[in-house]
Chains A and B, each alone.
Chain A
């Protein structure tokens, strides 16, 4: 559905003003755009507005889409920019301040050194566990968050993520690595083995 030929066809139809083509585009891409917006914005209502803004400005500016990236990457770029505009407008407290001041080295050193327990599949269905994982994403500094969501959760390749965020591929890789380390650190207390099991003195 997202291969080059059908995308070119879809774009032509959108450019020709065919509403059904717009619907197809929304059906294909809005779930991913919504998830990105939700994780960037923290508030559902703001995320919804970012999604609306994204498609409004995409359809309005469809002639500016030059086909250098794929349509999805282009939409993610619009959504990311819309989300950042909103966050900035909302005031500096909405934008992570620790990021600029964060010492590069210090952030990488793992401090939580306890072993983790195995998590059965059904545990992940629990709202509590999901919320913990989502909260950890929301607590990431904004720049790491955007990279993590696109690369790890939306499976956008490194080059697409770089192009959507306007950064180099090396920066994408570094930020993904930092995001993973931070999440590991953040989640460790939650997913760690209870101390007595970690000690190996109990159980079989």
Chain B
């Protein structure tokens, strides 16, 4: 990962992984990736990282905390 071209491309890799890089940048990154296994791995694992967090189940507020919140706001009587 010490090639100068890898470093240059890295700045745009996030957009590329999201599919939001402009076409010229996409073409440049694809060209580079074709000949650079390291960058292929980086892009693939970056995509997987983003995907994992999109699929991560979201933590819910514990019921006790919700009760305390309603109490602090003087809304307990409206709690469902």
Which residue numbers of A lie inside 8 Å of B, CB to CB?
A: 19-20, 22-23, 26, 30-31, 34-35, 38, 44, 48, 51-52, 55-56, 59, 105, 108-116, 119, 121, 124-125, 130, 133-134, 152-153, 176-177, 180-181, 183-184, 187-188, 191
In the complex, A136 Cα to B10 Cα: how many Å? 21
Contacts of A184 in B (CB 8 A): 42, 45-46, 49
Instruction: Flag if B10 contacts A152 (CB, 8 Å).
Output: no
Minimum C-beta distance from A122 to chain B (A) = 11
Q: B41 to chain A: which residues have CB within 8 Å?
A: 113-115
**Cross-chain pairs A/B with CB under 8 angstroms, 18 sampled:** A22-B75, A23-B79, A26-B73, A30-B66, A30-B69, A35-B58, A56-B73, A110-B10, A133-B52, A152-B54, A176-B14, A180-B49, A183-B53, A184-B42, A184-B45, A191-B45, A191-B48, A191-B52
* Contacting residues, chain A, for B1 (C-beta < 8 A): 109-111, 113
Chain B residue total in the interface (Cβ 8 A):
38
> Could you say which of B49, B59, B72, B78 has the most chain A C-beta atoms within 10 Å of its C-beta?
B49
Interface on chain B toward A: helix, strand, loop, or mixed SS? helix
